[in-house]
Amino acid sequence: MMNKTALITGASGGIGLDLAELHASKGGDLVLIARSIEKLEEIKTKFEQQYKVRVHVIGKDLSEPRSAREIYDELKEKRISVDYLINNAGFGVFGMFAETDWEKELQMINLNITSLTHLTKLFIGDMIRNGEVR
Ligand SMILES: NC(=O)c1ccc[n+]([C@@H]2O[C@H](COP(=O)([O-])OP(=O)(O)OC[C@H]3O[C@@H](n4cnc5c(N)ncnc54)[C@H](OP(=O)(O)O)[C@@H]3O)[C@@H](O)[C@H]2O)c1
């Protein structure tokens, strides 16, 4: 994982944070995405000191339909290339379908499906060119 950069969504806590630490502990650089930018900044400081890796953080709400494009464009502009994409961020709405809140469900669909698919679509071409995906 040395010199490989993993982009992990939902990296401010839970499984995403554990995956980020695992990658960093093996010498891999990171791009971390979540809404809580303060938490991400703390993680960046800790991992950069502890593991001597580079960590780039982006505060972004992935339930916003333009978010995937904005992330991709920011990384291109900063010349940060991504080797691995871990689409971890997500949540579930529970309850009787007739009674659950549509706005919450729309956020869930945008996060779990639209942004996940768009991020994959945007990054996969670069990964094929870099030999990470065939
Ligand atoms: N834990 C389980 O037993 C389990 C079971 C099945 C599936 N999963 C799936 O596995 C993934 C991780 O689970 P987890 O338990 O680690 O979840 P979690 O503890 O709730 O963490 C979710 C992460 O996603 C981020 N996130 C949530 N909404 C977001 C949004 N709109 N935009 C950007 N980031 C967002 C959160 O950060 P912010 O709040 O800072 O944005 C957080 O970093 C999820 O997709 C979950 O659905 C988990």
Q: What is the pTM of this model?
A: 0.97
Burial 48-68 (b: 16+ CB within 10 A, else e): eeebebbbbbbebebbeeebb
pLDDT class for 1, splitting at 50, 70, 90? Answer: low
The residues with which 85 forms a beta bridge, in sequence order, are: 7
- Measured CA angle at 58 (ends 52, 63), to 5 deg: 140
Residue with tokens 């992935």: 62
Whether domain 5-129 has CATH 3.40.50.720: the reply is: yes
Residue with tokens 């706005």: 103
Please work out whether the CB of residue 65 comes within 6 Å of at least one atom of ligand 1.
no
Question: Can you give the residue ranges of every domain in the chain?
Answer: 5-129
Residue of 44, 58, 91, 118 best suited for mutating to test ligand 1, as the one with most atoms within 8 Å of CB: 91
State how far the Cα of 51 lies from the Cα of 132, in Å rounded to an integer. 24
Closest ligand 1 atom, residue 15 Cα: 16
pLDDT in tens, 83-106: 999 999 999 999 999 999 999 999
pLDDT in tens, 38-97: 999 999 999 999 999 999 999 999 999 999 999 999 999 999 999 999 999 999 999 999
What residue type is assigned to position 64 of the chain? Answer: E
State how far the Cα of 110 lies from the Cα of 108, in Å rounded to an integer. 5
Q: Which two tokens stand for residue 125?
A: 């071409």
State how far the Cα of 42 lies from the Cα of 45, in Å rounded to an integer. 5
Query: From ligand 1's centre to the CA of 66, what distance in Å?
Result: 19
